[in-house]
Amino acid sequence: MSVFNNEWCTFPSIQVHEIGHNLRLLHAGENQVGEYEDEVGLMGVSYGEDTTNMCYNAAASWELGWYGRRRK
């Protein structure tokens, strides 16, 4: 379940970040120095903008099984 409030709920990158948590994705950089170190992937920093061009990073895409045909 995702719950949104205040102005942050109006930004697509914030919504997709929170949906990523529903898919059991952790913050990008969770096991590194800072959990928001990835400024490109949606599970890192999420920006309060409508025009952000972001995606899930390669690690998150792997966890979601999007590379299934290439797995060994």
Structure confidence at residue 22 (pLDDT): 92
Mind listing the pLDDT tens digit for each residue in 16-70?
888 999 999 888 865 556 666 677 788 887 676 777 777 888 888 888 888 766 6
pTM above 0.75, yes or no: no
Phi-psi region for residue 63, left (φ > 0), alpha (ψ -120 to 50) or beta? alpha
pLDDT-based confidence at 8, cuts 50/70/90?
confident
Structure confidence at residue 4 (pLDDT): 74
- What type of residue is 30? E
